Amino acid sequence: MRRNCVAASCLALAILLTTGLNNARSAKSEETKQVTCTGKVVDEQGRPIADVKVKLYKVAVETTAFSFKMELARQAATRADGTFTINSEVIDDEYSNQAIILADKEGLALGWDNWRLVDNANVEIVLGPPEVLAGTVVDEAGGPIDDAEVGISFMLVQAGGQPRYMVGYMSLEFLTTRSDAEGKFSFGRIPAEASAEFVVKKPGRATVSTFNPQGFQGRSLQFSAGQTDIKIVQPVGAKIVGVVAEKASGKPVGGIRIMAIRGRNQPSFGLEPVVSKEDGTFSIDSLAPGEYLLQIATVPGEEADWISEPVEVSVEAGKTKSGVKVELTKGGVLEVLVTDSITRQPVDKAIVSILPAGGGTGFGKSTDEAGIARFRQMPGEYRVSYLYKQGYSRQRLQEDTITIEDGKTVRIERQLAGMPKISGVVRDDRGLPVEGVKLKVCPMSGQEGVSDAEGKFEVKWDPGSWGNSETPAMVLLARQLERNLAAAVDVDENMHKVDVTLKPGVICTGKVVDSDGKGIANASLLVMLQGPRWGSSIGHNIAADAEGNYEIKALAPEHKYSIEASADGYGRYQIEADANEAMDNRFNVEAISLLAANLSVSGVVVDSEDKPVSGADVSCYGETQPRSQAKTDAEGKFTLEKICAGRIRISADKSGATRLYGSIETEGGATDVRIVISESSSSTRYEPKQQPSLVGRPLPGLKEVGIDLPPADTDGKMLLVCFWDMQQRPSRNCITQLAKQAEQLKSKGVTVIVVQASKMDQTALNQWVEKYNIPFPAGMVQGNAEKARFTWGILSLPWLILTDNSHIVHAAGFPFKELNDKLGQIDGG
């Protein structure tokens, strides 16, 4: 489930940090004022590493300015056994209780984990060989820019299926460098599985941030470890000069913080607020060309004295936009009193978010000691959209609007309810208590539990994480990996006591392979428990070994799962895994085949008047595709790298005074794609790859796929070619269905040919064909599988191609159930 952020989608940073919290925690003691992080630093073989510098950085999020500050708070070193301990005072404030535990050992990649300073934590950080992130900073013409300050703004790794985020800042030496005379920059000590985003600064040039929060999906950032061809375009900076004044009197006002943002839902990371001088004047430079909104950025923890309407400003590279006026009014004040639903006592440091009733930017505040969050706003109608505090259930509210009037204060009260909890005892099938069992309520978020030495546990779950829809059927999932024990117990919102009996867990094995059947080393696997209308991570995700093999332990028997595989340089694919198929508590699933991400998609983004749109964010999605992002250049052009063959959806988004959006569907490898974006975008259209369809063309040569038939089998006959993959269930089903109709097809003058679409062991293929009595000539792609798919126009498997008697392709890519209709169309012709 995607949770609302505090200030709508602008608060992307808060999403990053709160998503990446480690899940090995005990509940916070209400009495203590200190929390402790214990942990261990190990190498890739699990061996402890001594004398590692372990640093605790506190991260403070400033929502009004969309920025963050990092402060080194504690340091420690690992002992001979790799363990460490770091203490911190409890910080019960969602905007300042985020922290990063950084492990630093010369010669090895950096490692880290996230910690919220309200709970005790236990972490394990793995340090491996370092990789490099490198590229070039260039101007609009592609020329190098020297002495630009390049910083890693965000970095992400997946550890055990859980995202861990590093939030960079320009003051951190190990995350900052400068471009050389050729514009080149390089970062070492990057974890092999990391992805990252950048901020680039230089006087006279625009401050550029590569991060696009709207395109971010939580699994990967734009640039991957090992990339050395990164290109960041830094245009000449633009400037805005103006004055802040009272609207009623025209009197200038000093000391007002002004922020320039790239639209109502698009923060400008790397740009800091400026403060108006005593005469009310202000100047904002280092702006990239485009449209901005100027708005007040209040000081965290202080109540605003003024409010203003956002001011729309458009700037051009190298030019100054002057005469801009920000007009202040007192507006009205909304006070939201937040109380505990049981005690009715005020709740301090709770997050309250409000939205204009008609939509737009959200505004987030924390409650004070009296439980009150105060919002000074322009007159209008608003609604409270979100309430949250750690330990309470999230509240997403769909409620009546509240009217704020000029010069008036209105107060409303809202309540927070504690999270429901389930407690009990975990035992094995002999009735003995089991320690160290991890428990969670699926598919709800909340606080996971770990059983103690007596098998006792407590798990909290958050009804608010499911939004406003009806609470789904839930499962209490319990797993003990070391002993391979598991259970899944049906629970509902009225259950508070549950005893759990563990059974021997099911072990699932499989392999992740490329198109040629070769194992993909270190592929990541996301394992989801499947319920009625939902899927929920089991909390233990793994990586394949050097040969692509993997093993998933402690799966609850008699349940269904999904397994999604992904790998750097490849796409992703998901299969189903049913524990009911296990024999002796083990079962093997079909190989997960990933397409190579060795193509690109390029094109241009234009507006409704067919004018190029610069600075638009372009993202792609697809069932088998990796996620990739790009930004259009000054001519509206873009290129998405590392794309797989096959269907792909590409969207373009440009934020400004109004949001422009559009999308198309195309294929990996397409060029000259054209995306039209508008305020009210039309439905997604399909834009084909720049390659003629096989339909209406002669069938390509069969010898290239290992088929050499005598003229008697082909002359004057229709040909039906089926490309398939023996390792995929849908392909096997299609082949067996064709075999059942072999005689019928032969009587209609159809010669059927089946082609294995990726290279594999020929003996294994022959054995399968013989075992299932497949009566057709069977070939196999001999060369590059991706090239073959391109030549034959294959977008997915199985893929059927039907020709007429002259071997001109009549239909391609149709489902098996339409075969008879296609044959009838040829006969009718």
d(CA 756, CA 771): 16
Tell whether omega for the bond before 163 is within 30 degrees of 0, i.e. cis: no
243: which 2 tokens?
A: 């004055």
**pLDDT confidence of residue 21:** 37
**pLDDT confidence of residue 84:** 96
**pLDDT confidence of residue 120:** 83
- Tokens 């008036």 sit at which residue? 408
H-run or E-run covering 801 = strand 799-803
d(CA 38, CA 170): 28
Q: Cα–Cα distances in Å, from 655 out to 200, 291, 293, 371, 743?
A: 20, 8, 10, 35, 60
Order of strands across the sheet that contains 131-138: 184-190, 131-138, 230-233
**pLDDT confidence of residue 116:** 85
d(CA 295, CA 307): 9
Looking at the DSSP bridge assignments, the partners of residue 294 are: 260, 311
Task: Specify whether the CB–CB gap between 280 and 252 falls below 8 A.
Answer: yes
Report the relative pairing of strands 409-416 and 438-442 from DSSP bridges: unpaired
**pLDDT confidence of residue 476:** 94
Q: Which residues of the chain have pLDDT under 70?
A: 1-32, 62-66, 93-95, 159-161, 169-171, 213-219, 263-268, 300-301, 359-361, 395-399, 467-469, 540-541, 655-658, 680-693, 784, 786, 828-829
d(CA 49, CA 80): 7
- Tokens 């990164």 sit at which residue? 230
**pLDDT confidence of residue 728:** 80
Q: Count of CB atoms within 10 A of residue 398's CB?
A: 8
Question: Domains plus CATH for the chain?
Answer: 6-126 (2.60.40.1120), 131-233 (2.60.40.1120), 238-328 (2.60.40.10), 332-416 (2.60.40.10), 422-503 (2.60.40.1120), 505-593 (2.60.40.1120), 599-686 (2.60.40.1120), 702-828 (3.40.30.10)
Residues sharing a CB contact under 8 Å with residue 541, sequence separation 6 or more, in sequence order: 158, 160, 161, 162, 524, 525, 526, 527
Task: Specify whether the CB–CB gap between 321 and 279 falls below 8 A.
Answer: no
SS3 124: strand
User: In this structure, what are the phi and psi dihedrals at residue 45, rounded to the nearest 5 degrees?
Assistant: -95, 5
SS3 581: helix
d(CA 720, CA 753): 6
**pLDDT confidence of residue 11:** 38
Half-sphere exposure of 536 (CA within 13 A, CB side): 22
d(CA 730, CA 798): 7
Amino acid at 198: F
79: which 2 tokens?
A: 């002992």
Residues sharing a CB contact under 8 Å with residue 320, sequence separation 6 or more, in sequence order: 238, 239, 240, 241
**pLDDT confidence of residue 440:** 93
**pLDDT confidence of residue 14:** 45
- Tokens 């051009």 sit at which residue? 316
Report the candidate in 498, 410, 479, 351 with the shortest Cα–Cα distance to residue 3.
Answer: 351
pTM for the predicted model, two decimal places:
0.61
d(CA 97, CA 358): 32
Task: Specify whether the CB–CB gap between 562 and 577 falls below 8 A.
Answer: yes
**pLDDT confidence of residue 462:** 86
d(CA 520, CA 593): 9
164 CA to centre of own chain: 12
Residues sharing a CB contact under 8 Å with residue 20, sequence separation 6 or more, in sequence order: 114, 156, 162, 163, 164, 165
Q: CA end-to-end span of the chain, whole Å?
A: 52
